[in-house]
């Protein structure tokens, strides 16, 4: 992770707490996340000599932009594609997820692969940047998906709770894929991967 100064560290902690409050179901965890959010907000206010309840550059309205996610395509020596089985859906996806603040896209991609598969990877190239708006349900957040190609450097042998299986599959006989892998976009990305192309939109 990129070295953070104190101000960036506070905002990073605050954002982690907000994510925890959004996704956690455990009441004790929610209490802890709320305390962390409250404390970090107070520290940000003190550090910047601002009141976040008033209009400031922390709370001002900004031009709406899409959320950014990353996915990393990884092949083994036989050309098979690495997929992870999602714990919540029981279907497979390419390792990936949302970008966190202060992470570059490639840093976010490597982190997601490590968490979901246990593999340490290097990013080789950009395969594509795709607008996922046409695949979204009504009222879903607008999203750009950044697709990388990666190469395995080493393995930790463990993965996070979000995944239950890590396997390589022949690209012509893939298992049931997650809704996060829309057919049209995924076909385009796999074609770009095979042909060493970079695609967009």
The residues, any chain, with a CB within 8 Å of residue 198's CB and separated by 6 or more, are 125, 126, 127, 128, 192
The residues, ordered by sequence, that sit 6+ positions from 155 with a Cβ below 8 Å of its Cβ are 118, 119, 120
Of 43, 62, 81, which closes a domain?
A: 62
d(C-alpha 173, C-alpha 189), whole Å: 16
Q: What is the CATH number of the domain that holds 93?
A: 3.90.79.10
Phi, psi values for residue 51, rounded to 5°: -110, 115
d(CA 91, CA 176): 6
Exposed (0-12), middle (13-18) or buried (19+): which is 175, by Cβ within 10 Å? exposed
pLDDT tens-place string over residues 83-106: 999 998 999 999 999 998 778 999
Instruction: Let me know whether 76 and 173 are in one domain.
Output: yes
| pLDDT score, position 159 | 93
Residues 92 and 33 in one domain: no
pLDDT in tens, 151-173: 999 999 999 999 999 999 999 99
**Contact (CB, 8 A) for 6 and 102:** no
Q: What is the pTM of this model?
A: 0.73
Say how many domains are in the chain.
2
Task: Assess whether 86 and 56 both reside in one domain.
Answer: no
Parts of the chain with a pLDDT under 70: 1-4, 48-64, 133-141
Last residue of a domain, one of 47, 62, 77: 62
**Residue recorded with tokens 């979204």:** 136
């Amino acid at each position: 992770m990129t070295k953070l100064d104190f101000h960036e560290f506070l905002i990073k902690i605050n954002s982690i707490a907000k994510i925890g409050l959004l996704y956690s179901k455990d009441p004790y965890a929610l209490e802890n996340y709320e305390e962390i959010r409250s404390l970090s907000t107070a520290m940000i206010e003190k550090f910047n000599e601002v009141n976040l309840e008033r209009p400031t550059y922390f709370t001002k309205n900004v031009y709406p932009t899409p959320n950014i996610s990353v996915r990393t395509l990884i092949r083994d020596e036989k050309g098979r594609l690495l997929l992870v089985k999602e714990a919540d859906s029981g279907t497979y996806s390419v390792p990936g997820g949302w970008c966190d603040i202060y992470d570059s896209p490639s840093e976010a991609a490597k982190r997601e692969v490590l968490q979901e598969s246990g593999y340490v990877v290097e990013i080789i190239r950009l395969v594509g940047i795709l607008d996922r708006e046409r695949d979204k349900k009504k009222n879903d957040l607008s999203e750009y998906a950044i697709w990388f190609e990666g190469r395995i450097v080493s393995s930790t042998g463990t993965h996070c709770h979000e995944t239950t299986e890590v396997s390589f599959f022949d690209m012509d006989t893939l298992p049931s894929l997650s809704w996060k892998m829309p057919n049209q976009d995924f076909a385009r990305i796999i074609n770009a991967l095979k042909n060493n192309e970079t695609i967009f939109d």
